[in-house]
Amino acid sequence: MENKKTNETFVMPVKQVHPKMTKEMYEKLVNYRVKKCETIEKLHHTYNLPVITIRANYPGILKNNETTRFVIEEIGKTFDAFFHDKMLAEETYDTPEGPTTFYVLSGDARTLKENAVFIEQNHELGRFVDIDVYDIDEEYAITRFELHYEPRKCFLCDKSAKECSQNKTHSVEELIAFMEERVKEYIRNKE
Ligand SMILES: [Zn+2]
C-alpha cells in the first residue's frame, strides 16, 4: 500500500454519466481488499492491539474525491479528540474503497466499536462513514448485530441501508446529491 501523498495508482477514470465498474477497477478493488487484510494483520502483529478503519460511505464507484476526503478528515478530528491518549498509529491512504484511515488503539475492541457506533450515529457527518473495528486475531470486523445495535439506516428513507442498496431503491445520483448537499450544509454551518 502506498501513502496518500504520493499515490496516484488508485485514481479512477473521469466520471461518466452512469459510471460502471470496469474489469480493471474490479481487479484493483479485489487486490486492495487482500492488501487491506495484510495491513490489518501486520498492525495486529506489530502492536498486539485492535485496529480500526474509517472510510467514507460514498455511493457510486468514484470514491476518492473532495467530499470523501473532507468527511474522513472531519471524522478523523473527532476521532483524534475522542481517543487522543489511546492512539498508537494512524495512517491514511486513497484506496479503491475511498480514502481510508487505519488506526491502532489500545483498549477493548468491543468497547471501541460501541464508541465508533456512537460517532456514526451522533456526529453530523457520522452517517457518511463506516468505522470498522478488528480485534486482535480476528479477520472480520466486529458487527453492529453482535453488539445488538440496529443495522445502519439508508440516507434517504427509514429502511435499512442494506435493503435499499440491494433493491436499488434510490439512484446513485440521488444518494450522491444528498450526501454532497449535507456536507456543504455542514461546511456552511461551521463558517
Ligand atoms: Zn432508502
What are the tens digits of pLDDT across the range 91-127? Answer: 999 999 999 999 999 999 999 999 999 999 999 999 9
C-alpha 155 – ligand 1 centre gap (Å): 6
Residue 135 has pLDDT above 60, yes or no: yes
C-alpha 167 – ligand 1 centre gap (Å): 9
What are the tens digits of pLDDT across the range 17-71? Answer: 345 778 888 899 899 999 999 999 999 999 999 999 999 999 888 899 999 999 9
Q: What is the CATH number of the domain that holds 107?
A: 3.30.70.1150
Task: Give the confidence band of 188 by pLDDT, cuts at 50, 70, 90.
Answer: very high
**What DSSP assignment string belongs to 78-128?**
HHHHHHGGGEEEEEEE--TT-SEEEEEE-S-HHHHHHHHHHHHHHSTTGGG
C-alpha 154 – ligand 1 centre gap (Å): 5
In a domain, 69, yes or no: yes
Helix (H, G, I), strand (E, B) or coil at 53: strand
C-alpha 6 – ligand 1 centre gap (Å): 37
Determine the pLDDT at residue 19.
55
C-alpha 109 – ligand 1 centre gap (Å): 30
C-alpha 85 – ligand 1 centre gap (Å): 38
Could you give the number of structural domains in the chain?
A: 1
In a domain, 184, yes or no: no
In a domain, 190, yes or no: no
Average pLDDT taken over every residue of the chain:
88
Is residue 131 within 8 A of residue 119, CB to CB? The reply is yes
In a domain, 173, yes or no: no
**What residues contact residue 54 under an 8 Å CB cut-off, 6+ apart?**
72, 75, 76, 79, 100, 101, 103, 129, 130, 131, 132
In a domain, 104, yes or no: yes
C-alpha 57 – ligand 1 centre gap (Å): 14
Q: What is the C-alpha separation between 134 and 73, in angstroms, rounded?
A: 21
**What residues contact residue 133 under an 8 Å CB cut-off, 6+ apart?**
50, 51, 52, 109, 110, 112, 113, 116, 141, 142
In a domain, 186, yes or no: no
Structural domain containing residue 98: 23-150
Tell me the mean pLDDT in the region 160-177. Answer: 93
C-alpha 35 – ligand 1 centre gap (Å): 32
Residues above pLDDT 70, as percent of the chain: 90
In a domain, 39, yes or no: yes
